[in-house]
Amino acid sequence: MTAPVCTSASEAAPAKAPALATARTQTFPYPSFSSYVKARQPVLLRTARSLTANPSDAEDLLQTALTKTYVAWERIEDHRALDGYVRRALLNTRTSQWRKRKVDEFACDELPEPEPAPGGDDPAERQALHDAMWRAIMKLPARQRAMVVLRYYEDLSEAQTADVLGVSVGTVKSAVSRALGKLREDPELGIAR
């Protein structure tokens, strides 16, 4: 078994230096394209962002449109109309992406109904009970209504309720007891029992 041989970066550098030097001296065939992209990229990126919801997708969309523009650079006769050409490439690319997307919705004869929650916890029934409870509470006298709301909706203790209303704890107990009795007798709430 042979052991791996490690070389330092200084030993490996001379071998890569000629390739790196040629890469730095290489010029692009279309310097006018580079200057166009540098000058117009922010404006074109705003256009791409108006076509997609995700900023990363907008950047990808712009890169694709600029690639198509670069490939057709020699064929574009009027360089004053480049913005229009790139915008059209953006729109065409986005339309192609939209057409290729996976569609998860299918037409069917019957609408699928969601499975009922375990325990019969129907949101519509819960809302109907909530509304009936508030109608029954609104039928109570103002003082009893205030005590029921403070005790059971605001979750205050009997002493805290008495302190808020400026009455004794015994008054709160007796008034809440009478109010609960009236709520038990309410015909609208009889359905929930």
Q: How many CA atoms within 13 Å lie on the side-chain side of 136?
A: 21
Walk along the chain (193 residues) and give the pLDDT tens digit of each residue. 444 444 444 444 444 444 444 445 555 677 888 889 999 999 999 999 988 888 999 999 999 999 999 998 888 888 788 888 899 999 999 998 888 877 666 777 887 777 765 656 778 888 888 888 899 999 999 999 999 999 988 889 999 999 999 999 999 999 999 999 998 888 888 755 5
Specify the pLDDT at position 177.
93
Specify the pLDDT at position 191.
56
Specify the pLDDT at position 187.
86
Angle at 170 between CA 166 and CA 171, to 5 degrees: 55
C-alpha span between 90 and 149 (Å, rounded): 59
Specify the pLDDT at position 108.
78
C-alpha span between 155 and 88 (Å, rounded): 62
Specify the pLDDT at position 68.
92
Sign of the CA dihedral running 8, 10, 14, 20: positive
